[in-house]
Amino acid sequence: MSYLDNEFFLLAVTFGVFFFSKVLQKKTGILLLNPILLTIAILIIFLKMAHISYETYNKGGHLIEFWLKPAVVALGVPLYLQLEAIKKQLVPILLSQLAGCIIGVISVVVIAKLMGAPQEIIYSLAPKSVTTPIAMEVAKTLGGIPSLTAAVVVCVGLLGSIVGVKTLKLTRVGSPIAQGLSLGAAAHAVGTSTAMDISSKYGAYASLGLTLNGIFTALLTPTILRLLGLL
* 3-state SS string for the chain: CCHHHCHHHHHHHHHHHHHHHHHHHHHHCCCCCCHHHHHHHHHHHHHHHCCCCHHHHHHHHHHHHCCHHHHHHHCHHHHHHCHHHHHHCHHHHHHHHHHHHHHHHHHHHHHHHHCCCCHHHHHHHCCCCCCHHHHHHHHHHHCCCHHHHHHHHHHHHHHHHHHHHHHHHHCCCCCHHHHHHHHHHHHHHHHHHHHHHHCHHHHHHHHHHHHHHHHHHHHHHHHHHHHCCCC
pLDDT at 94 (0 to 100): 93
This model's pTM is above 0.75: yes
- pLDDT digits over 124-151, tens only? 999 998 888 888 889 999 999 998 998 8
Q: Are residues 35 and 146 in the same domain?
A: no
Q: Which domain holds residue 11?
A: 3-66
Q: Looking at the structure, do residues 42 and 92 belong to the same domain, yes or no?
A: no
Instruction: State how many domains the chain has.
Output: 2
Query: Are residues 59 and 161 both part of a single domain?
Result: no
Q: Is the pLDDT of residue 1 over 60?
A: no
